[in-house]
Amino acid sequence: MNTQQQKPYVIGLDLGGTNSVFGIVDQRGEIKVTTAIKTQGYEKVEDYVKASVDALQVIIDQVGGIENIKAMGIGAPNANFYKGTIEYAPNLSWGHDCIVPLAELFSKALGIPVALTNDANAAAIGEMTYGVARGMKNFIMLTLGTGVGSGIVINGQMVYGCDGFAGELGHVIMRRDNGRLCGCGRKGCLEAYCSATGVARTAREMLSTTDRPSLLRDMNPDDITSLDVSIAAGKGDELAKDVYEFTGNMLGEACADLTAFASPEAYVFFGGMAKAGDLILDPIKRSYDANVMPIFRGKAQFLVSALDGASAAVLGASAIGWEI
């Protein structure tokens, strides 16, 4: 029997703009042990990989050593599924202006096969296997975190495109006149408005252009985060609720456009922003119904991932490892 097939575990890495979460996963999809490091703060990718391997070594030892690990799967922004690279990822300090051969670097450091895909694709795979999209053949996953990512599943297959980069819905341009500058260098992208950083920016703009009372005025504007906006909205703060209304309205417009070509049975929202629940979902639904073509109206579900944020992406990334 092939000894590679006998190895009981794979490593899954959810590489986000803020944190990198590692999990060792068995064949039943159970995460046996996890660890995490900060993604940013490294000048070179080699420094990031070294810090990752140092953290991984501790949990690898807990499952009996590297000889028990079959492979590693990575979910990362701007990941090229075909080449194993991260390419010009705007939210990564060590990868925003270059092509990073991340799979090769991890493979050399650990001595095992490594593959990677877009972080949102990894989350979609995890959701399709273990979460609210289980059994679905057509759905779109939107990850609302440091950026806005997406994983598109059509007829039961992930959509990668000819170059591995299909599905960058966060960089669909929503405002062509006087749009906000996005991390990708263009203006008006969905991500510039509907990511966690975009929500904080909307709050700061509303505070600076109006005299409306708000709990957020007690804070230094530069310190405001999307979580602060969510907490204020939960307490009935009208300005904070309007921030979510603005954000949800734009997401609904985007989903209405996406439906015209994909006709998904569901949109699944994942990430820190999605935890706002009805604060974000209600305006999304209203805007979607107002903007979608009549033949599609009333067909798509709007769901929030039922999986723990890190678990969905780690499980999705690990699934790639089993296929190597």
**Residue pLDDT, tens place only, 116-160:** 998 788 888 888 877 899 899 999 999 998 889 899 999 999 999
Distance between CA atoms of residues 71 and 161, nearest Å: 25
Q: Do domains 3-125+310-323 and 134-306 have the same CATH topology?
A: yes
pLDDT digits (tens, 9 = 90+) for 199-229: 999 999 999 999 999 999 999 999 999 999 9
Distance of CA 221 to the CA centre of its chain: 26
- Rounded to an integer, the average pLDDT of 63-87 is 94
> Is the predicted pLDDT of residue 261 greater than 70, yes or no?
yes
> Average pLDDT, whole number, for the chain?
92
pLDDT digits (tens, 9 = 90+) for 7-60: 999 999 999 888 999 999 998 889 999 999 999 989 899 999 999 999 999 999
Judge whether 87 and 78 are in contact, CB under 8 Å. Answer: yes
CA distance to 76, 143, 315, per residue, from 120 (Å): 8, 6, 12
Q: What pLDDT was estimated at residue 138?
A: 98
Phi and psi at residue 101, to the nearest 5°: -80, 65
- CA nearest to 77, candidates 60, 61, 95: 95
- Rounded to an integer, the average pLDDT of 231-249 is 96
Helix, strand or coil, per DSSP, at residue 56: helix
- CA nearest to 244, candidates 231, 230, 254, 255: 230
- Rounded to an integer, the average pLDDT of 248-259 is 97
Distance between CA atoms of residues 240 and 228, nearest Å: 9
Task: Name the CATH superfamily housing domain 3-125+310-323.
Answer: ATPase, nucleotide binding domain (3.30.420.40)
CB contact burial 10-42 (16+ within 10 A = b; e otherwise) = bbbbbbbbebbbbbbbeeeeebeebbbbebeeb
The model's confidence at residue 309, banded by pLDDT at 50, 70 and 90, is low
Domain-wise residue ranges, the chain: 3-125+310-323, 134-306
124 Cβ contact list (under 8 Å, min separation 6): 133, 139, 141, 151, 152, 153, 158, 268, 316
Question: Residues of the chain with pLDDT > 90: what percent?
Answer: 75
133 Cβ contact list (under 8 Å, min separation 6): 124, 127, 139, 141, 153, 266, 268, 303
Task: Name the CATH superfamily housing domain 134-306.
Answer: ATPase, nucleotide binding domain (3.30.420.40)
Judge whether 244 and 276 are in contact, CB under 8 Å. Answer: yes
